[in-house]
A and B are shown apart, each in its own frame.
Chain A
Amino acid sequence: MAHTKVNKTIAEINERIRSGKAVVLNAEEMTEAVRTMGKEKAAKEVDVVTTGTFSPMCSSGLLFNIGQKEPPTIKTSKVTLNGVPAYAGLAAVDGYLGATEPREDDPLNKVYPGQFKYGGGNVIEDLVAGRTVSLRAEAYGTDCYPRKSYEKEITLADLPHAELFNPRNCYQNYNAAVNLTSRIVYTYMGPLKPNMRNVNFATAGCLSPLFNDPLFKTIGLGTRIFLGGGIGYVIGAGTQHVPNPKRNERGIPLSPAGTLELKGDLKQMEARYLRGLSFIGYGNTMSVGVGIPIPVLNEEIAWYTGVADSDIEMPVKDYGHDYPNGLPRVLQHCTYEELKSGEVEIMGKKVETVPMTSYPISLEIADKLKEWIQKGEFLLSEPVEKIPAW
């Protein structure tokens, strides 16, 4: 690492947080701070930058245990929560409910485009909101676990263990989606009108966690974060993590790249930051609120956290023909600044832009994390293992 003039440690920053002296800015404020005072002064003055995002993140789910409260004991082999199947191929009463799992009797896309009114993400939201959920389990019966079926109305409080466990969140950059065909398509990027009449994009821009630490210099296994309104942890690189994408001069990838695997105790979380979603014609998913604190250890980190919307270049891809056929063509790149302006020019045509990420809630998350740190309620953790990125 290059020699830096400012050198702080996480332990020192935590000391300042404990004594209520830490200077904390959200990522939007930090962009402005670095622009006006320069990276070195910003690194001296600012201790922590808080980021936030509230986006659809399909690779999310709930790892739970239902306990053995009513003997005889059971080893569940088929489990549903409000009719949504969970994976039960774990120990006796453990299960995993994925956010994108539709309800068992959902008509799916049989009547196209399907509505997907209720799925795994909605079950998780219902549990966090304190609503009652109907649990059904079946088993084949063994000598040690003789019970063959179990039904109960449960709430989150009845589950001895409930952990949000997300194999892939916080995608660092993502495709902006258009449709070059002549019919509407319904995708995980939302409905795309024919002949490129809208371009859909998902990111919180300069607030987004992995744009503020593009080379994972501070975020690693063990980083304590805001997750769904509670406290969670980064537990490594997420699935499909790409360590070595093409990057621009700020280190921002030009294609979907880094991802994070996250976990956190569901019982501390809030339904406002975990919303079950129904994507017409596509399926169920969930919006997850994530906020990651970035310790400003030196001017290099300050410079990275100074990322502006104009530095973020997103690849535009055709989801009408190219994406379903696995064609890698990138039509062009658009900056997040252009995309958020409401209209961009793609291949010489003016196209209306449509966001999928809630910017107000992303900002709210960054500000909430900032408040926790300012009050001394949230300390930063030292990552125990690095996430590969170069």
Chain B
Amino acid sequence: MTKEYRKNVHLTFPPTISGSPVICDLTKMFDLSFNILKAQITPRKEGHMTVEIMGTKENYQKGIEYLEKNRIVVTPVTQRISRDEDSCMHCGMCTAICPNGSLFVDREKRIVVFDIDRCTACGMCVRVCPVNAMHVDAENGMI
């Protein structure tokens, strides 16, 4: 099986589900691999997890359906982070701190490329960007 499909998603677990082992079902039932990038349970027992899921596209979709059936809200990470293109001056400082290389310098064009598909919305770039060009939607307080 080729695992060519990979995606970073943000999962929100309602308090009734956050204590159950749901994520490992992705592997058991759908042959998907996962890489937990960040996980937190709030004092109100709501769970938040940023996870990279890898597998075939078909299995990925089945897995997501399974999660949603279990009342887990699935949000693509790419919707949670943005760059103000007018403000970014392509200095490159963010590339030092980006943990997985989703911000990197294109050596030919010498511009900073933002690969949103790889981004895990960790928010490090938001803290570091000297001109405040990176923005993370902080609605669930998960920066």
Residue of A nearest to B94 (CB): A354
Chain A contacts for B131, CB-based, 8 A: 275-278
Known: A191-B128, A277-B131. A355 touches B89 (CB 8 A): no
> How far is it, in angstroms, between the C-alpha of A210 and the C-alpha of B142 when the chains are bound?
46
Asked if B71 lies at the interface with its beta carbon under 8 angstroms from chain A, I say: no
- B130 in contact with A278 (CB, 8 Å): yes
- A356 in contact with B91 (CB, 8 Å): yes
Contacting A at CB under 8 A, from B100-128, are 105, 107, 109-111, 127-128
Q: How large is the interface on B (under 10, 10 to 19, 20 to 34, 35 or more residues)?
A: 10 to 19
Q: How many residue pairs, one in A and one in B, have C-beta atoms under 8 Å apart?
A: 63
Asked if B90 lies at the interface with its beta carbon under 8 angstroms from chain A, I say: yes
- A357 in contact with B107 (CB, 8 Å): no
Q: How far is the CB of A181 from chain B (nearest CB, A)?
A: 16
Asked if A359 lies at the interface with its beta carbon under 8 angstroms from chain B, I say: yes
- A191 in contact with B89 (CB, 8 Å): no
Q: How far is the CB of B67 from chain A (nearest CB, A)?
A: 35
- B90 in contact with A200 (CB, 8 Å): no
- A354 in contact with B107 (CB, 8 Å): no
- B128 in contact with A359 (CB, 8 Å): no
Most buried by A among B89, B95, B96, B105: B96
Q: How far is the CB of A208 from chain B (nearest CB, A)?
A: 14
Contacting B at CB under 8 A, from A238-273, are none
Residue of A nearest to B129 (CB): A278
- B96 in contact with A191 (CB, 8 Å): yes
- A340 in contact with B107 (CB, 8 Å): yes
Chain B contacts for A363, CB-based, 8 A: 110
> How far is it, in angstroms, between the C-alpha of A342 and the C-alpha of B107 when the chains are bound?
7
Residue of B nearest to A286 (CB): B130
Most buried by A among B89, B95, B111: B89
Q: How far is the CB of A136 from chain B (nearest CB, A)?
A: 24
Known: A54-B89, A359-B110, A360-B111. A354 touches B128 (CB 8 A): no
What are 20 A-B contacts defined by CB distance under 8 Å? A54-B89, A190-B96, A193-B96, A200-B96, A277-B131, A278-B130, A278-B132, A285-B130, A340-B110, A342-B105, A342-B107, A355-B92, A356-B92, A356-B93, A357-B91, A358-B89, A358-B90, A358-B91, A359-B90, A363-B110
Chain B contacts for A198, CB-based, 8 A: 96
Asked if A117 lies at the interface with its beta carbon under 8 angstroms from chain B, I say: yes
Q: How far is the CB of A210 from chain B (nearest CB, A)?
A: 20
Asked if A36 lies at the interface with its beta carbon under 8 angstroms from chain B, I say: no
- With A352-B95, A354-B93, A358-B92 known, 14 other A-B pairs at CB within 8 A are A191-B97, A193-B96, A277-B130, A277-B131, A279-B130, A285-B130, A287-B91, A341-B107, A354-B92, A354-B96, A357-B91, A359-B90, A360-B110, A361-B89
Chain A contacts for B111, CB-based, 8 A: 360
- B96 in contact with A361 (CB, 8 Å): no
Q: How far is the CB of B130 from chain A (nearest CB, A)?
A: 4
- A355 in contact with B91 (CB, 8 Å): yes
- B89 in contact with A190 (CB, 8 Å): no
> How far is it, in angstroms, between the C-alpha of A277 and the C-alpha of B92 when the chains are bound?
13
> How far is it, in angstroms, between the C-alpha of A83 and the C-alpha of B89 when the chains are bound?
26
Residue of A nearest to B95 (CB): A354
> How far is it, in angstroms, between the C-alpha of A175 and the C-alpha of B101 when the chains are bound?
25
Chain B contacts for A359, CB-based, 8 A: 90, 110
Q: How far is the CB of A316 from chain B (nearest CB, A)?
A: 15
Closest 5 CB pairs of A and B: A277-B130, A359-B110, A355-B92, A354-B96, A198-B96
Q: How far is the CB of A337 from chain B (nearest CB, A)?
A: 11
> How far is it, in angstroms, between the C-alpha of A356 and the C-alpha of B109 when the chains are bound?
16
Asked if A280 lies at the interface with its beta carbon under 8 angstroms from chain B, I say: yes
Residue of A nearest to B86 (CB): A272
Q: How far is the CB of A315 from chain B (nearest CB, A)?
A: 19
Chain B contacts for A361, CB-based, 8 A: 89-90
Asked if A115 lies at the interface with its beta carbon under 8 angstroms from chain B, I say: yes
Contact with B along A286-304 (1 / 0, CB 8 A): 0100000000000000000
Chain A contacts for B89, CB-based, 8 A: 54, 275, 287, 358, 361
Most buried by B among A279, A285, A357, A358: A358
> How far is it, in angstroms, between the C-alpha of A389 and the C-alpha of B61 when the chains are bound?
67
Q: How far is the CB of A6 from chain B (nearest CB, A)?
A: 32
> How far is it, in angstroms, between the C-alpha of A150 and the C-alpha of B132 when the chains are bound?
32
Chain B contacts for A356, CB-based, 8 A: 91-93
- B132 in contact with A190 (CB, 8 Å): no
